[in-house]
Amino acid sequence: MDFICNSMNSIDKLSSLRKGESALITGIHAPDHMRHRLQAMGLRTGREAEVIRRPRLGPMQIRIGSVNLIMRRRDAARVTISTRQ
Amino acid sequence: MKRLAIVGMPNTGKSTFFNRLTGSSSRVGNWPGVTVDLLSARVVLGGDAVEVVDLPGIYDLHGFSDDEQVVRSFLENNSIDTIGVILNATQLDHQLPLALQVCKLGIRPVLLVNMIDEADQLGVRIDANTLSSAIGCPVVLLSARNGTGFNDARDTLTGELRDASPASLNALRDNLHADDELVQQADALIRKSVSAPSKLVRKMTERIDHVLLHPVFGLPLFFLAMFLVFQAVYTLGAPLQNDVAYVLDVFRTLTLEPLAGVFPPVLYSFLVDGLYNGVGTVASFVPVIILFFFFMAIVEDSGYLARAAFLTDSLMAKLGLDGRGFVMILMGFGCNVPALMGTRVMRSRALRLLSMLVIPFSLCSARLQVYLFLTTALFTASQAPLVLFSLYLASFAAAILTALVFGRRLKSDEPFVLELPPYRQPVLKQVLMRGWHEIAHFLRRASTFIITGVVLVWLLTHFPAGSTPGGAGTYASILGQWMKPVLDPIGISADMSVILLFGFVAKEIVIGSLVAMTGLDGIALNSYLATQMDSIQAISFMLFVLLYTPCLSTLATQLSESRSWKFAGYSLGWSLGLAWAVSFSFYQGARLLGY
């Protein structure tokens, strides 16, 4: 059971997408104030997110609609996604 | 007087619009309920005097960052007639929720949809009429950069201001829960009034990023770019500096000296040797400062700073800071004060405090003045750049050490999320305006701090009456004797320690004080300095100047931004201690090695 949960988590986070892949945002799992900020910057449920850059070290570059964001993997791991489109 | 507030997200061209609307008349000032200074200007719109206030860029009216709180408490505590909301036309889907939040305040805003030229190029079409009637407030399409639609925007604001009556916005917090509805409402509005390609492709930006954000070459290119900027500042600045010094010198010999000759010797010495030479020597550094901020504004306006944050974040993460912190350290090389204020975008207090602890070690343009002067006076032409470069390295090393020491205590879980704007060509007028603000700032300092400092030094070094100017028996030399036990072990002479005392107020005074104290300038001052210290002592002195404290303004900013005496005191104590320890190790180490 644990195994299944873990593997699902690793598939369903924005941080696990590779360069060039995109997915729909399904939620943000963070304390209120943090979620609020991420949403205001464009990470809203239902929007499509595409990974533009994913260097071996350092933050990722994500495109959501007309907005380009850079964010650390640690923070991207708080964003859940759905790749079924 | 009517009042107009300008609100908008970062990267919307808000300040370009503000500058176009207000010209160069803007100034920073205090506002009720707000602990930070805001930029404002008085303009005449349609025959009425109007006060325009530029509020900090925010993503969310209900957010929790310091900037967002500043905007909220400003709106709660000051009566406003109209709000202008600047929106980026290429990102309406992202920005309209903020506009709708403003609409909810119960005051009719004007939506200023900016960057319409860029939107046109990308194939985004906006139906302003549909949008306007659906939201119920005026919508103007414009480009603040090239002026398209600007007159329309000004006229609309003028019309709204004429009809508006001031509203106080106390009911602000009640609207907090409705944000999700606002987003849906915004989406519906966009569907009705905006047509855009499904993907906005910015070919140019993508091509440039392909090179500048390259996984291997990105970071080296960044350091190369920084190196070139500094190089350009000094190769262009040094001749200009000589020109200004020459003009000031000619003015003194041809006009000032004959005129002041009628005064008694003491007054003559005060006016010419003290005041004029002191302030003049400082003024000759104005070109370098202007050039520095000129280049910084270009780097900032082009959109490269966000890239710098991207490239350096993994490095900074190891120090408990983030990419934004690096950018602020970089800004600190211009002046520490705006860099400290720039940390307001960080929400986590721990992260902010750590960044504010580190920034004062950035070798600012005022300290650079001191170094340019001393390295030219005391080192050969081939040694001077190396010494200067080592001081920059020392500045970074002190920042890293500080982050490592305090990072453990100031841990944060702040998300690092930053918008990456497209590259834009900097607007010349905007860049010049920035330079103008810096000169204005410098002149304000010159008229208060620097003149007071120079006068004080002159008094201390020429009194009590009867003592040899700058010699033993003056108040200055008595002060110097007091500090001797502390500063002797790091190789700083009694005369120079008095200078350090004044440098505590502002580094701009240091050179002016030297001139006022000795009554010498030019080559005579250089040879005097050579009698005061050898090269090892000079480096020890410069290290101490780098680290001991940037200036009183920086300390005051740390205090006002942290709202904690304890933090400001801590920061001061740490930097004084570090300065002494570093200079001591360097000086005694070098002497032990026989230098």
Instruction: Give the CATH number for residue B19.
Output: 3.40.50.300
| pLDDT attached to residue B120 | 92
Closest to B128 (Cα-Cα) out of B147, B145, B152, B106 = B152
Task: Please report which confidence band the pLDDT of residue A5 belongs to, taking 50, 70 and 90 as the band edges.
Answer: very low
Note whether B155 and B269 are same-domain residues: no
Angle at B573 between CA B572 and CA B576, to 5 degrees: 85
Residue B442 lies in a domain: yes
* Complex prediction ipTM: 0.86
Q: Which A residues 25-54 touch B at CB under 8 Å? A: 30, 33-34, 36-44, 53
Task: Please report which confidence band the pLDDT of residue A8 belongs to, taking 50, 70 and 90 as the band edges.
Answer: very low
Q: What count of residues does chain B have? A: 595
Number of structural domains found in chain A: 1
- Residue B309 CA to residue B316 CA, distance in Å, equals 9
Residue B528 lies in a domain: yes
How many Cβ atoms are within 10 Å of B376's Cβ, its own excluded?
Answer: 14
Contact A37, B347 (CB under 8 A): yes
Residue B436 lies in a domain: yes
- Residue B539 CA to residue B375 CA, distance in Å, equals 9
Residue B155 lies in a domain: yes
Note whether B355 and B308 are same-domain residues: yes
- Residue B568 CA to residue B573 CA, distance in Å, equals 9
Number of structural domains found in chain B: 2
Q: How near does any CA of chain B get to the CA of A72, in Å?
A: 6
Q: Which of A30, A59, A68 comes nearest B313 by C-beta?
A: A59
Phi, psi of B163 (to 5 degrees): -85, -20
> Which residues 6+ apart lie within 8 Å of A71 measured at CB?
A59, A60, A62, B415, B416, B417, B418
| pLDDT attached to residue A9 | 45
Q: Identify residue B487 by its one-letter amino acid code.
A: L
- Residue B181 CA to residue B173 CA, distance in Å, equals 16
- Quick check: A11 pLDDT over 80? no
| pLDDT attached to residue B83 | 92
Higher pLDDT, A73 or B299: A73
Phi, psi of B194 (to 5 degrees): -125, 135
- Residue B8 CA to residue B225 CA, distance in Å, equals 30
B349 touches chain A (CB under 8 A): no
Q: How near does any CA of chain B get to the CA of A4, in Å?
A: 28
Place of tokens 């299944």: A4
Partner-chain contact A72 B317, CB within 8 Å: yes
Higher pLDDT, A55 or B557: A55
Q: How near does any CA of chain A get to the CA of B44, in Å?
A: 35
How many Cβ atoms are within 10 Å of B579's Cβ, its own excluded?
Answer: 20
Note whether B374 and B484 are same-domain residues: yes
Residues in chain B within 8 Å Cβ distance of A19: none
Residue B215 lies in a domain: no
Dihedral-angle region of residue B149 (phi above 0 means left; psi in -120 to 50 means alpha; beta otherwise): left
Question: Which structural domain, as residue segments, surrounds residue B535?
Answer: 222-592
In this prediction, what percent of chain B has a pLDDT beyond 70?
92
- Residue B32 CA to residue B78 CA, distance in Å, equals 7
- Residue B178 CA to residue B171 CA, distance in Å, equals 14
Residue B210 lies in a domain: no
Residue B462 lies in a domain: yes
Contact B471, B495 (CB under 8 A): no
Note whether B423 and B559 are same-domain residues: yes
User: What is the H or E stretch that residue B576 is in?
Assistant: helix B565-592
Partner-chain contact A59 B310, CB within 8 Å: yes
Q: How near does any CA of chain A get to the CA of B540, in Å?
A: 37
Partner-chain contact B415 A66, CB within 8 Å: no
Best interface-test mutation with A: which of B118, B417, B418, B420 has the largest number of A CBs within 10 A? B417
Q: Which of A33, A58, A78 comes nearest B313 by C-beta?
A: A58
Note whether B401 and B520 are same-domain residues: yes
Question: Which structural domain, as residue segments, surrounds residue A18?
Answer: 2-82
- Quick check: A1 pLDDT over 70? no
Which of B180, B195, B210 terminates a domain? The answer is B195
> Which residues 6+ apart lie within 8 Å of B441 measured at CB?
none
Minimal-distance CA residue of chain B relative to A60: B310
Residues in chain B within 8 Å Cβ distance of A27: none
User: What is the H or E stretch that residue A12 is in?
Assistant: none
| CA distances, A11 to each of A50, A54, A57, A77, B144 (Å) | 15, 16, 20, 10, 44
H helices present in B166-276, as ranges: 179-193, 203-212, 218-251, 257-260, 265-268
- Quick check: A7 pLDDT over 60? no
Dihedral-angle region of residue B587 (phi above 0 means left; psi in -120 to 50 means alpha; beta otherwise): alpha
Note whether B418 and B531 are same-domain residues: yes
Note whether B315 and B174 are same-domain residues: no
Residue B214 lies in a domain: no
Q: Give CA B129 to chain center in angstroms.
A: 40
Note whether B191 and B227 are same-domain residues: no
Note whether B130 and B180 are same-domain residues: yes
Residues of chain B with pLDDT under 70: 24-36, 166-179, 281-282, 285, 438, 441-442, 445-447, 449, 466-467, 469-471
